A and B are shown apart, each in its own frame.
Chain A
Amino acid sequence: MDNFPNIVIFTLMPLFAGVLIFFGLFKNNTIVIRRFAKYFSSLYFIYAAFEFFGRNTNSEFGSIFTNSFYILSKYTGGISSGFDTIGSIFALLVSFLILICFIFAKSTINLKQRLFYSFVLFFESAIMTLLSSQDFCIFCAAALFSSVCAYVLIFNFSSRKIEKETKSYLLLNSFALFFLCSAFALVYAILKLNGIEANILNFAYSSSELSGTIQLILFLAFLLLSAVKIPFFGFHKPMSEIIKNSNTALACIFLSEFILGFFIFIKFNMYVLKDIFQIFTPIIAVLSIFNLCYFAILAIGEKDLKKSFGYFCFSQSSIAICALCSMSIEGICGAIFQCISQSLILLGLFACYCFASQIFKTTKLPFMGALATYAPKLAALCFILSLAAAGIPFTSGFVAKFLCILGGFSTQIYSQNIIWICNLFILSGFTLSAFYLIKTFQNIFFGLDECQSHKTTNLLRHRFFALSAVTFCIIILGIVPHILTGAITKYADMVVSSFLM
């Protein structure tokens, strides 16, 4: 997408739709609001797919999303904008996640619909702006706006009021952002002083000319922001509480936050500030391997379904970071693929778990069981999603794990002994995740019959449709992964070649 009007329309369209809802165009007619939001998101997703895929002159699978940093158009007044390869993939992914969440919201959000739909659309717009922005101010504003939207949504629509945790999350996000803003201000001043137009693109080109200290400050600011969003060990507490009290419709929030964190990490920490990244790589690699095993073990022992799912999410996120630290084409490719695959799988799994907890009216695992008899469709879909998360072939999870391990072996920066030790730890992380998935699945769908005392139901039609769509995407990505890997490889190649330079 290298066309200025397109970018403006694309990024601001959800904001406009959100404003229409928020300022009462549809009054308080919940059905109209819901339908408008749903149809808008569907069209928006189709439009995004068309923009990123349909407009490609060379419509081969491998060449989708081949835009790079070099194809950027400028706004008037020196503000530039544009989606790069990874940005466009993530934009499409986020629009899909939000569409699915709107479908789930039909039976989940029963109060304050106007607020919910408008703020989710604001959030979407903020993310799109952040993904495409090449301007310091717009980037920071979009990041801050997305955090505020997330705060409002979590605060109002969680199953329990979690004021403290939501505030902590907003504070952590804001602290990281203000730190980043100050660092950006410094860079802005330096670029201006040297007569260079101050935008992210030029910052990317001339980052290596900045002094080590400034690069370090910038790196830490970005790292802090991504550590809060992904999240890393130490920053996970608020997010785990948020996930514990989330519902299906809010899944788009924490998954989009993870995607944003990953985007910031790969684009800024890894690509732009490559010199510092090389110094920090071993620490981040060790931290992510620790994250992987730590959260997987915690998830196995946790009795609360949603909280354990939160730990599982963090563990899965670490796989992508771990693969990035290999600094090889295969590793980066695997990390991006893992990020995409994981977002889809976790959305589906979280939805399944939420439906199960709705049926049982509790999130405590010991009070769940034998749902397979009463909800066979849900059991079947949850089983496929669990297998995909475990990494069974013909699902996207397998391809992602395959590439991540391959990346682990193909790294050139560590000695063979360290590579093997790391890979064995990653292997144990994968195995632990698989244990968690099968344990949870068995606990909910088999075991003692806890359904009798509750009003049981199978999947509603719209939920079944949404879950099937997610499952379909996961299987398609597992069978024909080169839909994405072609484009991702080119991006990974660009990142790795920057390291070699």
Chain B
Amino acid sequence: MIDVLALVYIMIFIPFLCAVTLTMLKLTHFKIPHYGNFTLSLISSIFTFIISILLLDYTIAYQGYTLENNYPICIIQNIPLYFGIYADNLSSIFILLLTFMFLITNIFSYRYLLQNRQGFERFYIYINFMQFFLLCFFISSNLTQSIVFLMGISLIEYLFANFYFQKPQSQINSKKVFEINIFSDFILLVATIAFLYFSTLAPDTINIPTLGYNNINSLGLYSFASLNPVIFAIICILFIVGAIIKSSQFPFSPKTYLTSLAPNPAFSFIISPCVLSMGIFLLLRLYPILNLTPAVFEILKISGIITAIIAAIIALKENNMKNICSWAAVSQTGIAICALGFKMYGASIFYTLCAGFGIALVSYTLDTISYSTGSQENIKFLGGLREKLPLAATAFLIGSVSLAGFIFSGFYSRALILGNLFNAGNFIYIILLLFCSFLTAFYLFRTYFRIFEGDYRGTIEPKRVSRAMNFGIIILLILCIFFGFFFNNFAGSIFTLLGYNKFCASNPFVNIFAFLVSAAGYYLAYNIYFAKRLHSLRIKFLRKLASKHFYMDAFINILFNDGIIFISKILAFFEKYILGFIYSIPNLITRIISYLTVKFEPKSIKAQFFAIILWLVLILLLTSLLYFKTGVIR
């Protein structure tokens, strides 16, 4: 009999050991060849992937049973902090996805890093640490552990964004990434500590492993019953705000594109569902608490739909492949969050997974194009690559079709959300989501036509893509095609697996309409960028907004940089002149007194005697005042 618990611990610590080994090798200047780093990391990813399959198999085999273990790490002032495992259906699925993406990233990374031979060790150290933190986050048994590892992930995101630290833009972007992340981390930390304190006040709940997810329901109910509703709502809002910032939602959406200067495989990993959906995962874990204050779900709905549309509009204007990918990922995450706002628990996870595979496919395909064309990332300087890179063209097409919701995985997930909305009668949101699908179809096919059709506009002759990269793309391609179908056909069992029994059959009328809307997007892109029958619409106002990222960059700049520096300058003025003046007052007084003393110096002994008497009387007066005030001097 396999001890699954031991295996899970091994799975978590393999990347950690790998990262520590690589770090020690680097610190001790022990030179190992480049493929040594790669091999070590690849072995680690294969092992973790195999164990994650075993874990999912275990959770499916023992439906309803959650693998749980808590190990006390430290006690901070009577509050024990646990490092624990809580492997239920949700975490098993996300862990499988994570280990799979980690494997794909490793496969892609070697050839990419060989290009410029820079930061080999660093890359593998960072990626293994990220894997470790993400595993610990997805499997965490309590909220405190989740927040601790979220902060770790933020740190690695910063390190990746600053990977090529010689580039000035990389430094600026990484700083912003750090600032946004630390802001959300502190918000989540404050919310967690508040919840920790208020939920463990009662003697009945004090012994529960601190904020364990197994007890989150009862802890939430207890807090809700004992707390002022407004306070409880504030805690929930803080959780939601922190989570949506983590998932790059409006107005913090630029966070994702700011990491675009990271190495391509790492960037694809960051915009994959593993990292971008951390906020969604956290919200899913906190679902029992948030459910007690239904009003806060409105924030999710509004933020999600605004992000989805705005990100799609910005993607229309972008010419950089990585930026298009990042905005597409943000847009899709927005739709998933919007679905979560409508309490479509299962649909949201389904959408995250399906869109995640689509995004990963598109993103890794664009990585291969960048690799092939000598790091050319501007789609204006590409074209006609369909014949030279047929697999990449097919993969991108399938990814786009899926993301736009035509067919394949994307179709099923979108149909599920639209069907649920239709049954609930939320027609405004249906229209907005369809508009988003239209935009998605348009910008993805625009990218497709720009890159793969027409004549090649680049300067470097495209080179062959390595077999390892093609292998990774083929796996993603298969998943992108069949995942939704598989999920849909085995919906009953899998939704039970996710703890959601209400699978709502999608509405055929809505599906046909959605298909037509996506087709309209494709048709428009085809006419403008391929057949050249139409000119692209030039709505000046919208173009300006899109190019300025709807002033989100400016907002972040003012909030985290310019605004603070402006206040700082005012305070520095106050410090220098006003406080400086106040500090000079005692000196001034001393000078004046000294001047007066010299000027009115008693000329005779009589006058001196009079001055002494005056001082004595003053002291006497003060003492008697003290006496009368307090009654007695003890």
Contacts and interface: CB of A to CB of B under 8 A. Distances in A.
Q: Do the two chains bind?
A: yes
Interface of A: 168, 190, 193-194, 209-214, 234, 237, 294, 297-298, 300-302, 329-330, 333-334, 372-373, 387, 390-394, 398-399, 401-403, 405-406, 409-410, 416, 420, 423-424, 427, 430-432, 434-435, 438-439, 442, 446-448, 479-482, 485-486, 488-489
Contacts of A297: 564, 567-568, 571
A142 to B, nearest CB: 27
Contact of A416 (B77, B228, B575): B228
Given A302-B572, A481-B76, 12 more contacts: A190-B633, A212-B630, A237-B579, A300-B568, A301-B572, A372-B165, A393-B151, A398-B148, A427-B186, A438-B179, A439-B175, A442-B171
A393 B152 contact: yes
B564 A392 contact: no
B171 A446 contact: yes
A485 B186 CA distance: 22
* B: contact size bracket: 35 or more
Best-buried of A294, A301, A410, A447 by chain B (most CB within 10 Å): A301
Contacts of B634: 190, 193-194, 209-211, 214
A176 B79 CA distance: 40
Contact of B560 (A402, A423, A424, A435): A435
B228 A442 contact: no
Given A194-B634, A301-B572, A479 B564 contact: no
A403 B77 contact: yes
B189 interface: yes
Describe B's contact surface by its main secondary structure: helix
A329 B178 CA distance: 33
A405 to B, nearest CB: 5
Nearest to B176: A438
Contacts of B228: 416
Interface of B: 73-79, 148-149, 151-152, 155, 162, 165-166, 168, 171, 174-175, 178-179, 182-183, 186-187, 189-190, 193-194, 196-198, 228, 231, 234, 560, 564-565, 567-569, 571-572, 575, 579-580, 583, 626, 629-634
Contact of A300 (B175, B182, B234, B565): B565
A485 B572 CA distance: 38
Contact of B190 (A214, A387, A427): A427
Contact of A435 (B198, B564, B633): B564
Contact of A301 (B196, B564, B583): B564
Given A302-B572, A329-B77, A482-B76, A423 B564 contact: no
A482 B74 CA distance: 7
A482 B575 CA distance: 41
B177 to A, nearest CB: 10
A409 B194 contact: yes
Contact of B234 (A211, A334, A420, A446): A420
B629 A406 contact: no
B614 to A, nearest CB: 21
A116 B485 CA distance: 78
A390 B198 CA distance: 25
A259 B291 CA distance: 47
Nearest to A424: B190
Contacts of B565: 300-301
Contacts of A489: 77-78
Best-buried of A294, A372, A402, A488 by chain B (most CB within 10 Å): A402
A294 B575 CA distance: 10
B74 A479 contact: yes
A446 B169 CA distance: 11
Contacts of A401: 189
B76 A399 contact: yes
Describe A's contact surface by its main secondary structure: helix
Contacts of A416: 228, 231
B198 A409 contact: yes
A482 B78 CA distance: 9
A405 B193 contact: yes
For the complex of A and B, 5 pairs with smallest distance between CB atoms: A301-B568, A393-B148, A409-B197, A434-B182, A211-B630
B179 A430 contact: no
Given A301-B572, A403-B76, A438 B193 contact: no
Contacts of A301: 564-565, 567-569, 571-572
5 contacts: A302-B572, A330-B77, A406-B197, A434-B178, A488-B77
Contacts of B74: 479-482
A435 B155 CA distance: 14
B630 A405 contact: no
Given A294-B571, A372-B165, A213 B629 contact: yes
A168 B629 CA distance: 35
B632 A431 contact: no
Contacts of B168: 447-448
A423 B197 contact: no
A298 B179 contact: no
A116 B166 CA distance: 41
Contact of B75 (A409, A423, A431, A485): A485
A402 B145 CA distance: 13
A420 B626 contact: no
Nearest to A439: B175
Contacts of A391: 186
Contacts of B564: 297, 300-301, 432, 435
B627 to A, nearest CB: 10
B217 to A, nearest CB: 22
A494 to B, nearest CB: 14
Best-buried of B568, B572, B626, B629 by chain A (most CB within 10 Å): B568
A435 B179 contact: yes
A405 B583 contact: no
A211 B571 contact: no
Contacts of A402: 76, 189, 193
A298 B75 contact: no
Contacts of B148: 393-394, 398
Nearest to B158: A438
A61 B627 CA distance: 51
B226 to A, nearest CB: 12
Nearest to A479: B74
Contacts of B75: 481-482, 485-486
Contacts of A432: 564
A35 to B, nearest CB: 30
A398 B166 CA distance: 30
A482 B81 CA distance: 11
Best-buried of A168, A193, A333, A482 by chain B (most CB within 10 Å): A482
B179 A406 contact: no
Contact of B182 (A213, A420, A431): A431
Given A301-B571, A416-B228, A430-B186, A438 B175 contact: yes
B569 A427 contact: no
B231 A406 contact: no
A423 B186 contact: no
A51 to B, nearest CB: 25
A323 to B, nearest CB: 12
B190 A423 contact: yes
A194 B632 CA distance: 13
Given A402-B189, A431-B183, A439-B175, A302 B76 contact: no
Best-buried of B74, B155, B165, B182 by chain A (most CB within 10 Å): B182
A488 B75 CA distance: 13
Contacts of B569: 301
A298 B572 contact: yes
A237 B583 CA distance: 8
A197 to B, nearest CB: 16
Contact of A298 (B151, B183, B231, B575): B575
A387 B571 contact: no
Nearest to B568: A301
A405 B171 contact: no
A392 B194 contact: no
Contacts of A330: 77
Given A212-B630, A489-B77, A298 B568 contact: yes
Nearest to B196: A406
Nearest to A429: B186
